[in-house]
Amino acid sequence: MTLEHAAIWTDNLESLKEYYIKYFEGRPNNKYINEAKNFQSYFLTFKSGARLELMSMPDIPGNLNDTVQKQHKGIIHLAFGVDTIQEVDDKARQLRADGYPVLSGPRKTGDGYYEFETLDPDNNRLEVTCVFPS
């Protein structure tokens, strides 16, 4: 069994789509629009085959949790895997240079990864990670 997709509600559908295209090589489908529900979405497909659905609809309430300084129960981040430590470092440098925060790392973790944590434009937590060579 595979994880087919994860989904994010957003008020910034187009800019969030462009972020995942530019920084994570997501390939979008054509925008889906359901006019009766005033719903719009994109599916972005990544190299691994995993997909991310970005969704927008008026009246979806904002997240009341502090997603930047604190963590909460439930799904907390998406992780993007790369092949090398250099790719992790390069992506951290690219995002930082373009004004996105690097919350932690790049660093070796105790569970065998090399990673850093960042935020997308909607303050969703992301990790970029690779398996640390033994």
> What is the tens place of the pLDDT at every residue in 106-130?
999 999 999 999 999 999 999 999 9
Q: Residue 132 pLDDT > 90, yes or no? A: no
- Round the average pLDDT of the chain to a whole number and report it: 94
- Rounded to whole angstroms, how far apart are CA atoms 2 and 8? 19
Residue 72 lies in a domain: no
Q: Does some domain include residue 62? A: no
In a domain, 63, yes or no: no
Instruction: Tell me the β-bridge partners of 102.
Output: 118
How many helical (H) and strand (E) elements, i.e. helices and strands, does the chain have? 2, 9
**Residue-wise pLDDT tens digits, 33-50:** 999 999 999 999 999 999
Instruction: Look at residue 64 and tell me if it is in a domain.
Output: no
Same domain membership, residue 93 and residue 49: no
Host domain of residue 95: 77-131
Asked if the structure places residue 120 within a domain, the reply is yes
Q: What is the pLDDT of residue 71?
A: 78
Kindly report the number of other CB atoms within 10 A of residue 44's CB atom: 20
54-85 pLDDT, tens digit per residue, is 999 999 988 877 777 877 788 889 999 999 99
Instruction: Look up the CATH number of the domain holding residue 19.
Output: 3.10.180.10
Give, in degrees to the nearest 5, the angle at Cα 107 between 101 and 109: 120
Q: Are residues 15 and 50 in the same domain?
A: yes
Q: Does 94 reside within a domain?
A: yes
- Asked if 30 contacts 59 with a C-beta cutoff of 8 angstroms, the reply is no
Does the pTM exceed 0.95?
no
Domain count, the chain: 2
> What is the arrangement of strands in the sheet containing 113-119, beginning at the earlier edge strand?
77-81, 125-131, 113-119, 102-108
9 within a domain of the structure (yes/no)? yes
Tell me, yes or no, whether 67 lies in a domain. Answer: no
- What gap in Å lies between CA 40 and CA 58, rounded to an integer? 10
